[in-house]
Structure formats: C-alpha cells, structure tokens
Amino acid sequence: MSQAFDAAEASRRGVEMRRARANFKKALRLGQHRLVEVYDSAENPDTDPVIRGLRVEWFLRSIPGFGVTKTREVLERVGVSPTATLGGLRVRQRAALRIEVQNLYRRYLPHLRGVLVVLAGPSGVGKGTIVSWITSQYPEFVLSVSATTRPQRPGEREGEHYFFVSPHQFQSLIENGELLEWAIVHHEHHYGTPRAPVEALLDEGKNVILEIDVQGAKQVKRAMKRSVSVFVAPPSFEVLAERLEARGTENEAERTRRLGTAERELRRQREFDAVVINETVEEAGQSIVDLVLASQRAQATKE
Ligand code: 5GP
C-alpha cells in the first residue's frame, strides 16, 4: 500500500521536475539567466536540483545559434560526456568547460552583457564627481579601478582609487596582455585598465565605466565593439582652469601641465561617440546614463 503511494508520489515529482527543467531551459534560451552565473551556481550542492541535474549538452544548446555539432565539439575538447550534468562535473572538467562557457557567452550573447562606458575629458572637468553621481544613482553602473605608476596621494586607497604599482610591475602587466588599454598621461606616469575584472563585471551585466585619457579611449574603441565613448567637456576653457585651481590638488607647475594636456584633449572630442558638457553634475550624469541605456536597447534589438 505504502509502496503504491510512494510510486505515485515519485512519478508526480518526476513530472514536476521535468516541467521545471523544461521551463528553465526555455528561460535560458530566452536569455533570462546569465549563462556563466548559472554554470557557477551548479557547483553549489544547495542549488536547485533543476539546475544541477541539467545535462551539459542541453545547457550549451540553449545558446541561440549553438547547435548539436558545435556542442559536441566543445564537449569533446574538454573531455566531458554529453550526458554529464551541470552538478556532476569533476573539478578539472568544470574549470575547462567554464572557459568555454565564458567565451560562448561573450560571443553568442553579447547583448546580455553590460556596456563598457569610456569617459574621457580634461583633468578637472568633473569626471570623478559625475561617475560618483552615476554609480550612486544607478547600481548597475560600476567604475573600473586602474593601475598606475603614479605615487599614492593622501586619502587615496589601494584597490579603491587605483592599484598603485611599480614601473616594473606595470611593464609585466603590459607584457602579459593583462591591460585592456594603457597610456602615459601628462607625459609622466603610466595608467592602464586591468582587463580581467572589467570582463568579469561585464559578464555580470554591469555597465563598466572607464575614466581614462583620450589615448586609452581610442585603444578601447578599437578593441571593444560594444562600448560607448563619451567626452566630458567643460562649459569653457576658463571654467576648467578655475575648477582645477579650486580643486587645489595640484601645484602650479602640475596645473599648467594638466591644462596643456586639456588643450590637446579638447581638440580630439570629435573622436568620441558623444560629447557631454558638464554644466551640472546631475544633468551630465543623466545624459551619460541615457546614452548608455539607449545603446544597450539598440544592441539588444540588433543582435
Ligand atoms: P590622476 O593622476 O589625476 O588620478 O589621473 C590623471 C588622468 O589619468 C585622469 O584624468 C585620467 O584621464 C587618466 N587615467 C586614469 N586611469 C587611466 C587608465 O587606466 N588608462 C588611461 N589611459 N588613462 C587613465
């Protein structure tokens, strides 16, 4: 008697599980879940059995445009059986397949990733304040932390304002291809954007802001198709000089050097996707957010 009851219960659960799995696969196909996040979550024994029990083959085939043959090729390359489940992968297989999943996600589902926002403009124009406004109002926007050989200023924190590195360390970052872009700014110090954290944040769907100089902006534009570049301009050159002086973080020689760079940078604003004049922080910040969201919508309908 109790046997019969259990069988019925098990069958009901089986039906439920299959239905849940079908729904989940559909949601994956529709891009309602981020592939890499789902993949990573499957490692955790507490994750929903619907995810952990999903066959790796089905998981890969949920990527629009990724068919049976390509799926088999990937699985063969990493030595994973098509019938393996997401929750049942061995450590090495999991690590090897993760790289493939990440690459597929970036290649086939770029519209689910965040947008890279390049913000350039002369020193003292107020980029930092605008970025703080944007990230406090819109949590889906984050600022990338650059590496620099410039000495740390009082009040600056390692890993928050910059990663302060030696010229030797900076050189290794360049040589190992770990920088998305880099430049010598104000003819003096090296500054560069670490690539891996930016890519990881974009994978999470964050819009990543790079506050960099025009040389770096140009490199990013070439390397990253899905980016929006914005030049933040002052209302006038005089206003810029006044703001730089009022900020009081540089001595006169440094200010003169920065204004020299500013003059050269202002001449290059046409190389950007958009120019935003910083009259007020809120207006400038909102304009940048609107530009990014519009570009994201345009991409989503195109891809
Ligand atoms: P500061 O020394 O005042 O912190 O920064 C000087 C300038 O360096 C900034 O205005 C910004 O344009 C530029 N900068 C900061 N980080 C980067 C970076 O990662 N790459 C490039 N190319 N420029 C940067």
Cα 303 from Cα 293, distance rounded (Å)? 15
DSSP 8-state assignment for residue 145: P
Cα 12 from Cα 18, distance rounded (Å)? 10
Q: What distance in angstroms lies between residue 27's CA and the mean position of ligand 1's atoms?
A: 41
Note the helical H segments in 154-280.
Answer: 167-175, 195-203, 214-223, 237-247, 252-266
Residue in 246, 253, 252, 198 with CA at minimum distance from that of residue 226: 198
Angstrom distances, CA of residue 252 to CA of 151, 194, 255: 18, 31, 5
**Any ligand 1 atom below 6 A from CB of 212:** yes
Report the Cα 52 to chain-centroid distance in Å: 27
Q: pLDDT 10s digit of each residue in the chain, 303 long?
A: 455 668 888 888 889 988 999 999 999 888 888 999 999 999 999 999 999 999 999 999 999 889 899 999 999 999 999 899 999 999 999 999 999 999 999 999 888 899 999 999 988 889 999 999 999 999 999 999 999 999 999 999 999 999 999 999 999 999 999 999 999 998 889 999 999 999 999 999 999 999 999 999 999 999 988 899 999 999 998 998 998 898 888 889 989 988 998 898 899 899 999 999 999 999 999 999 999 999 988 877 765
Structure tokens at 260: 């020299």
Q: What distance in angstroms lies between residue 192's CA and the mean position of ligand 1's atoms?
A: 8
Count, residues in the chain: 303
Report helix, strand and coil shares of the chain as percent, to nearest 5: 55, 15, 30
Which residue has the CA at smallest separation from atom 19 of ligand 1? 192
**Any ligand 1 atom below 6 A from CB of 216:** yes
Burial class (CB in 10 A: 0-12, 13-18, 19+), 150: middle
Cβ atoms 129, 123 nearer than 8 A: no
- The helix (run of H) or strand (run of E) holding residue 108 is helix 91-108
Which residue has the CA at smallest separation from atom 21 of ligand 1? 212
Nearest-atom index, ligand 1, CA of 127: 10
Q: What distance in angstroms lies between residue 299's CA and the mean position of ligand 1's atoms?
A: 28
**Any ligand 1 atom below 6 A from CB of 181:** yes
Cα 62 from Cα 116, distance rounded (Å)? 26
Residue 255, Cβ neighbours under 10 Å: how many? 19
CA count, 13 A, side-chain hemisphere, 88 = 13
**Any ligand 1 atom below 6 A from CB of 213:** yes
Instruction: Tell me the best of 164, 198, 212 to mutate to test the pocket of ligand 1, counting ligand atoms within 8 Å of each CB and taking the most.
Output: 212
Q: What distance in angstroms lies between residue 128's CA and the mean position of ligand 1's atoms?
A: 11
Residue in 99, 101, 146, 140 with CA at minimum distance from that of residue 120: 146
**Residue 52: what pLDDT?**
95
Angstrom distances, CA of residue 227 to CA of 129, 179, 221, 222, 273: 21, 16, 7, 10, 9
Which residue has the CA at smallest separation from atom 3 of ligand 1? 123
Nearest-atom index, ligand 1, CA of 161: 4
**Residue 296: what pLDDT?**
86
**The pTM is what?**
0.85
